[in-house]
Chain A
Amino acid sequence: MGLDYQLVLWNKQKKRYDLVLFLFIVIYLLGFAVVTFTTNANTSLETLIIRAFGSLAILMLHIILMIGPLTRIDKRFMPLLYNRRHFGVLMFLMAAVHGVFSIIQFHTLGNVNPIVSIFTSNLDYNSLTNFPFQVLGFLALIILFLMAATSHDFWLANLSAKTWKALHMAVYLAYTLVILHIFLGAFQQETSPLLLGLVGLGATIIVALHIFAGFKEVKVDQAKVSEEDGWHYVCSVEDIKENRAKMTTCAGERVAIFKYEGKLSAVHNVCRHQGGPLGEGKIVDGCITCPWHGYQYLPGNGQSPPPFTEKVETYNLKLVGNKVYIDPKAHAPGTPVDPIKI
């Protein structure tokens, strides 16, 4: 949230996150170099850089793709999600080092333009065993560049959240290209079966996590609601923890019902910033705080506290005994609704 754009949105937690990432990268690269020179002292520096940065980028991409479903399965993984954007940009930079050094080593020695050389030095596009796998890596790198280049909040605001999200879903296409790049490259280059096995295992884990998290969400969305005069029964008051929310689905939309200061309020679950799940956040300083990037909304009217302007839909609630009911008809974003007292 801000009245201008910052170069990098850093706070104490994000700095710690980035420091851990930086240390991880340094330790991985040093470790890779030590193992490589110990096992094969003749390895050239260029080859070491290509392999070290390439394998690091793949490892980081796997972790990035696991973070989303892991947080949907278990909220304890939420801190990993908090600064995934920086993780993604760093992963692109590692992939870019791998790509640039590969182009220098394999495509700059002749008199053909290096980019043209990537696509035309091997025209065996019909072959599985001799496929020009570097083309796949290049295309994946273009997609990762597009995502890293549009990761700033400016793009989110100006491309619209829907377009931005759709654009960033291309990470799955990039991942598929990377996997094909590795496996098709393995037919032509000296590649360790251990590496191929690890990549195969990684892909299996990513697919399994997405399927499992998807089933979990479908279960919430399809949970049967009992109706009473148009009001949907949600849960007992005791089922909602203080300063936390209970999520439900009304007319196909996810809604978060918050309990705070002896009151209950309901707002649409989707944060206006980046589509984060407000119901997985908590009340901080009297405001619903999105777990992804800290965007805040007042529970009584779904509006960000002044001078900010983001708004989410609000809902009417009623309490019968200790049973919480919700009117599934949403109010326009930012409409004040009196909280119900417990």
Chain B
Amino acid sequence: MLKSTLIILIVIFGVYVLIGFLFGLYFIFKGAKQIDPLIAESKFSVRLLLFPGTIATWPFLITKIFKK
């Protein structure tokens, strides 16, 4: 029972990371500019640096993009 619960939680975690990864690709090319115009003036390397944070915080960022 404990093992099954842990595996379910790990799968949920994996799905979260996978969605974050896919959203991250969209975010660094387009999404970041939608929520922060300063990104458009910044070098592309800055957007690459944002990628790991995007994977971690994607639900927050999607909400912010929709609100815009």
A binds B: yes
What is the interface of chain A, defined by CB distance below 8 A to chain B? 2-7, 113, 115-116, 119-120, 123, 125, 145-146, 148-150, 152, 154-155, 157-159
- Set A3, A120, A149: member contacting B38, Cβ < 8 A: A3
Q: A116-B10, A120-B3, A120-B7 are in contact. Are A5 and B38 (CB under 8 A)?
A: yes
Output the nearest chain B residue to A126 by Cβ-Cβ distance: B2
The 8 A CB mask of B37-68 against A (1 = contact, 0 = none) is 01101110110011011011100110010000
The answer to whether B10 and A150 have CB atoms under 8 Å apart is no
Output the nearest chain B residue to A155 by Cβ-Cβ distance: B53
Docked pose: A154 CA to B36 CA in angstroms: 8
The answer to whether A154 and B50 have CB atoms under 8 Å apart is yes
Interchain residue pairs with CB less than 8 A apart (25): A4-B41, A4-B42, A5-B38, A5-B39, A6-B42, A7-B49, A115-B13, A116-B10, A119-B6, A119-B9, A119-B10, A120-B6, A123-B3, A145-B52, A146-B56, A149-B52, A149-B53, A150-B57, A152-B46, A154-B32, A154-B36, A154-B53, A155-B53, A158-B64, A159-B57
| Best-surrounded residue of A3, A120, A148, A158 (most CB of chain B within 10 A) | A158
Residues of B within 8 A of A4 (CB): 38, 41-42
Question: Which label, helix, strand, loop or mixed, suits the secondary structure of the B interface?
Answer: helix
Docked pose: A146 CA to B52 CA in angstroms: 8
Q: A149-B56, A150-B56, A154-B36 are in contact. Are A115 and B10 (CB under 8 A)?
A: yes
The answer to whether B46 and A7 have CB atoms under 8 Å apart is yes
| Best-surrounded residue of B6, B43, B55 (most CB of chain A within 10 A) | B6
Residues of B within 8 A of A3 (CB): 38, 41
The answer to whether B7 and A116 have CB atoms under 8 Å apart is yes
B35 close to A (CB within 8 Å): yes
Question: In the complex, given contacts A150-B57, A154-B36, A154-B53, what are 20 additional A-B residue pairs having Cβ atoms less than 8 angstroms apart?
Answer: A5-B38, A5-B46, A6-B42, A6-B46, A115-B10, A116-B6, A116-B7, A119-B9, A120-B6, A123-B3, A125-B2, A145-B56, A149-B55, A152-B46, A152-B49, A152-B50, A152-B53, A154-B39, A157-B38, A158-B64
Docked pose: A115 CA to B36 CA in angstroms: 35
Docked pose: A158 CA to B45 CA in angstroms: 18
Residues of A within 8 A of B13 (CB): 115
Residues of A within 8 A of B55 (CB): 149
What is the interface of chain B, defined by CB distance below 8 A to chain A? 2-3, 6-7, 9-10, 13-14, 32, 35-36, 38-39, 41-43, 45-46, 49-50, 52-53, 55-57, 60-61, 64
Question: Which label, helix, strand, loop or mixed, suits the secondary structure of the A interface?
Answer: helix
Q: A119-B10, A120-B7, A125-B2 are in contact. Are A7 and B57 (CB under 8 A)?
A: no
**Closest Cβ–Cβ distance, residue A298 to chain B (whole Å):** 22
Residues of A within 8 A of B7 (CB): 116, 120
Residues of A within 8 A of B2 (CB): 123, 125
Docked pose: A150 CA to B52 CA in angstroms: 8
Q: A116-B10, A120-B3, A125-B2 are in contact. Are A150 and B46 (CB under 8 A)?
A: no
**Closest Cβ–Cβ distance, residue B9 to chain A (whole Å):** 8
Output the nearest chain B residue to A119 by Cβ-Cβ distance: B6
Docked pose: A6 CA to B35 CA in angstroms: 17
Docked pose: A150 CA to B57 CA in angstroms: 9
